[in-house]
Structure 1
Amino acid sequence: MDIERFLAVKYLSLKEGLSGCMVRYAAGNVLRKYGLCEVNLSKPVCFKSLWFYVRVDRCIRRNNLENVVVKDWCENNNVLKLVEEREEMERIGGLTENESKKVWNMVNEKNLTNRQKDLAWMAVHGCLPTREFQRRRGLVEREICEREVSGKIENITHVFWNCMYAKEVWKRMGKMMKELTGVQILTFNMTLYGLCNIEGKQARILWLLVNCVKEVLWDVQNILIFNKTVIEVNECVNMIRGKLFLYV
């Protein structure tokens, strides 16, 4: 959906000028079906549309945008708003529709870095490449966490919450979180989904803190696996504090 949304906005500029002329030439055969432009056969026109205009055609049909007028297509924000209104939201298992909507908004929080958004999205979808995820696809032989001596499976819940290493990191960060957000007890739903009983600025600060911690926990886990290097808890906490300077 994202690539189609991008193409619909980027390549449907029908404003007057050079870009508009190029769109009418390259996409006129597609757009005329929806009354978005008139093809003047006295001027050059491409009857075999380029691949991205074929995708735009598909996007228009899939999102029922056939009745959108030219004026709206000329405004990027209008196009995005129309697509978002028609876009179906994926329900998250165990959560209500309103909770799911809130989670997806949190995943796309504008103050998160792109990498933090990616990690949050993969964690919610359950497709973060943990050893359990990779073993199911035949990429690794063992799904056991290399940090735990008790032989526990390395999955999303383990890496970010149940692992003794992660628990100690959350414990060390607890004082800072309490001072900045007022949260006394952190829950797994707060760390994975951003669902909590606080609102406004404090909720945003908590979500930023949580994602900085998750990003570093994921980094140190991969450093252990690929570099065979153990990052001590104190050093991990310092790495998290370094990430937080991005928001100071």
Structure 2
Amino acid sequence: MVWSNTGPRAEQLPWHFGHDLARVGLDHRHLYEEVRQAVSPAPVVGISEVVWEGVQARGLDNRLKDLNWLSLHKCLPVRSIMYRHSLVQSPTCPRSSCGREETVRHVFWDCAFAGVVWARARVLLGLVRGDFVLTRLERGVGRARGTDRVRFLLWLLMSLFKRGQWEARQNMVKTGRDWGVEGIVRRVEGDLRGRMKREERKWGQHAARERWKGGLGLG
């Protein structure tokens, strides 16, 4: 038997165990493997390869990758989901001015607050690629063409703004304090400045500014 990445190592048995256990069928790991192979999970529908490569782009922090994964698979603990499990009293958006059902798509795209956040985000996205259009909202990508670096910067900006929205939402639910759009923008810009500073120390100021499209207007 050759070790593979199809499942946890603990579920895989050496080849000389497999033959005997297939005959007696008493080992729980062997039985589990047979069931798992017979009922293999179907691939996730609706997430294209291009989108998956973008939201899991090399260079993104693991936390950003995790948030992107949870967002695409609608696994974040929003109120519509928690309400179905009787964990909250209402499925509506926690923003008092909204009143609509809070789904994952609502948090990041459909809420009026999210619309204002993305209006601010488009300014930075336009500095990276002037003809970029944010379409297919739930997937968070439009014409993300260009060099690998340009595509990475677009995905990084979208991921940072999504993280900002989610953290702002979590903070509001926990403490009742709203960061507002400007609070999210300041946190995203602060994160970008920190990344640029680290690259300046690594590559030098001139090379780093070229990699960051002249500093994205952040000074």
Partner of 1:163: 111
Gaps of 5+ in 2: 20-26, 197-219
Structure 1, residues 138-176: CA drift from partner, whole Å, max 9, x if none? Answer: 211111112142411211222111222222222222221
Corresponding letter in the other structure for 1:194: V
Query: What is the SS of the residue equivalent to 1:203?
Result: helix
More deviation, 203-212/157-166: 157-166
Partner residue of 2:151 out of 177, 195, 203: 203
Partner of 2:33: 58
Alignment map for 1:1-248 (pairs within 5 Å): 5=6, 7-8=8-9, 30-33=14-17, 54=29, 58=33, 62=37, 89-92=43-46, 100-189=48-137, 192-201=139-148, 202-245=150-193, 247-248=195-196
Q: Matches of 1:245 and 1:214 in 2, distance apart? A: 18
Q: Percent identity?
A: 25
Q: Matches of 2:42 and 2:54 in 1, distance apart? A: 17
Note the C-alpha offset of 1:188. 4.2
Structure 1, residues 170-191: CA drift from partner, whole Å, max 9, x if none? Answer: 22222211011224532243x6
TM-score, length basis structure 2: 0.68
Q: Matches of 1:239 and 1:110 in 2, distance apart? A: 22
Gaps of 5+ in 1: 13-26, 36-48, 64-85, 93-98
Q: Matches of 1:11 and 1:34 in 2, distance apart? A: 12
Corresponding letter in the other structure for 1:234: E
* Structure of greater Rg: 1
Note the C-alpha offset of 1:6. 6.9
Cα root mean square deviation, aligned: 3.4
- Closer/same/farther in 2, CA of residues 199 and 88 from structure 1, 3 Å limit: farther
TM-score, length basis structure 1: 0.61
Q: Matches of 2:133 and 2:141 in 1, distance apart? A: 14
Whether contact under 8 Å (1:168, 1:233) holds in the other structure is yes
Structure 1, residues 15-40: CA drift from partner, whole Å, max 9, x if none? Answer: xxxxxxxxxxxx6xx332579xxxxx
Whether contact under 8 Å (1:103, 1:195) holds in the other structure is no
Whether contact under 8 Å (1:216, 1:236) holds in the other structure is yes
Query: What is the SS of the residue equivalent to 1:160?
Result: helix
